[in-house]
A = this chain, B = another copy of it.
Amino acid sequence: MDLIADARARDADDPLAPRRARYLIPEGVIYLDGNSLGPASHAALAALEVAARQEWAEGLIRSWNAAGWFEMPLALGDRIGRLVGAGAGSVACCDTISVNLYKVLHACLALRPDRRVILAEATSFPTDLYIAEGVCAAAGARLVLAEGPVEAALTDEVAAMLVNHVDYRSGALRDMAGLSAAAQAAGALAVWDLSHSAGALEVALDRDGADFAVGCTYKYLNGGPGAPGFVYAAARHHGSIRQPVSGWWGHARPFAFEPGYAAAEGVKAFLAGTQPVLSMRTLAGALEDWEGVGMAEVRAKSRAMTEAFIGWVEAVCPELELGSPREAAARGSQVSFRHANGYEIMQALIARGVIGDFRAPDVLRFGFAPLYLSFEEVARAVLALREVLASGEWREARFAERGAVT
């Protein structure tokens, strides 16, 4: 099997291929970790430059009005909304995903005052569970972790069911429409964590009946390191969002300097404090790269790419065991392979310029971002992986030391 020839034929047919030129991918790097931190684009860096040197340095305090800084959380929210199937006015961009999830789960408990359980999958991204635990402690509720299918654990005590749309470890994709309906049939609210799906596949929050959602913008949306999170509320909840992190920006009249809090209408009620303008402006630039992109074509390329990757790895690296769903429709835009020495193998691969990441205990995780990856790069990554395994170079001592994160 000639992987490179196969890949080049696919690249020649790829309608998204010209978009690669928008991104700054370092020389010698094949970047399969955009699901952790997306790369910089020319548009993102240009927007940052304008924000820093014109809006801040020249405009100073005047830029809050003149440069539209005040409008950013909802303006960016609308642009993100288009990518996740949310109508205008349903998404706000602010704070971190942790803080946003905290606010959303409180809002859910307030909407279901007679129910005191938050239900989540035991395999959720851990920080989601930490936050849910914190909300429960603060609100006198109880966190229930489902070991099996989460919908099977729905009871009439459940106020909110929290689901990770794509599992961070396996890449398994959950059925948003089906699970939202199941939650609602049980009287609960459906809360979605879109960290690993926003920008990677077709998300349809409005259509699929989500109640609330949170997501992050530094993964597939390429907003920059630690770029602000976002929060979605279905239109039916816009009149009734109550959450306790009630800062000035979520006030109905933020400039009246009233002593008492009055929540703004709509998703704006999730805003709290002053947002990091430079990070938000960078995200605004990054979102320009999504203009004219249809999520259907992103998803089509992602499916083709993950499928090709699995096929190629299984053909040339029989030592590895697939850790993701085999069926493309059941998968997000990442693929996991398992190996007892996954950590060392990933370190050796990174040393060759192929950047993926490792998740304990044994998962080699590869993310596929259709806007800037070519099939040829994916094929070259597979060949590098084969070399790492065949040469045994991962056994070298320098790859064994565990750092904080990769």
Contact = CB atoms under 8 A, between A and B. Distances in A.
Interface of A: 24, 26, 29, 31, 33, 36-37, 39-40, 45, 48, 51-53, 55-58, 60-65, 69-70, 95-99, 102, 106, 122, 126-127, 129-131, 133-135, 137-139, 145, 216, 218, 224-229, 243-249, 251, 255-261, 272-280, 282, 350, 355, 357, 359-360, 403-406
A277 B224 contact: yes
B274 A226 contact: yes
B53 A45 contact: yes
Contacts of A135: 244
A248 to B, nearest CB: 4
A248 B360 CA distance: 16
A275 B247 CA distance: 19
Given A272-B96, A273-B97, A274-B218, A26 B246 contact: no
Given A102-B245, A131-B247, A226-B276, A60 B48 contact: no
B127 A259 contact: no
A61 to B, nearest CB: 5
Most buried by B among A62, A133, A360, A403: A62
A131 to B, nearest CB: 6
Contact of A133 (B95, B131, B216, B246): B246
Nearest to A44: B52
Contacts of A249: 98
A289 B126 CA distance: 39
Closest 8 CB pairs of A and B: A96-B273, A98-B273, A98-B247, A225-B277, A127-B248, A134-B246, A134-B244, A276-B279
Contacts of A57: 24, 26, 39-40, 45
A67 B272 CA distance: 30
Given A45-B57, A98-B272, 15 more contacts: A37-B61, A45-B53, A64-B225, A95-B99, A96-B272, A98-B249, A98-B273, A99-B99, A134-B243, A138-B139, A138-B244, A145-B259, A224-B277, A226-B274, A257-B360
The CB with the most chain B CB atoms within 10 A, among A57, A95, A360, is that of A57
A260 B129 contact: yes
29 contacts: A24-B57, A26-B57, A37-B56, A40-B57, A45-B57, A55-B225, A56-B225, A64-B225, A70-B404, A95-B96, A95-B99, A96-B247, A98-B249, A99-B245, A122-B259, A126-B257, A126-B259, A129-B259, A130-B260, A131-B272, A134-B244, A138-B244, A225-B278, A226-B275, A226-B276, A226-B278, A276-B279, A277-B279, A279-B279
A99 B272 contact: yes
B274 A96 contact: yes
Contact of A247 (B48, B127, B359): B127
A224 to B, nearest CB: 6
Nearest to A145: B259
A258 to B, nearest CB: 6
B360 A273 contact: no
A357 B244 CA distance: 30
A96 B249 CA distance: 12
A350 B60 CA distance: 12
A119 to B, nearest CB: 14
Contacts of A99: 95, 99, 245, 247, 272-273
A51 B279 CA distance: 12
B261 A129 contact: yes
Contacts of A229: 273
Contacts of A70: 404-405
A6 to B, nearest CB: 27
A64 B133 CA distance: 26
A357 B62 CA distance: 10
A173 B60 CA distance: 26
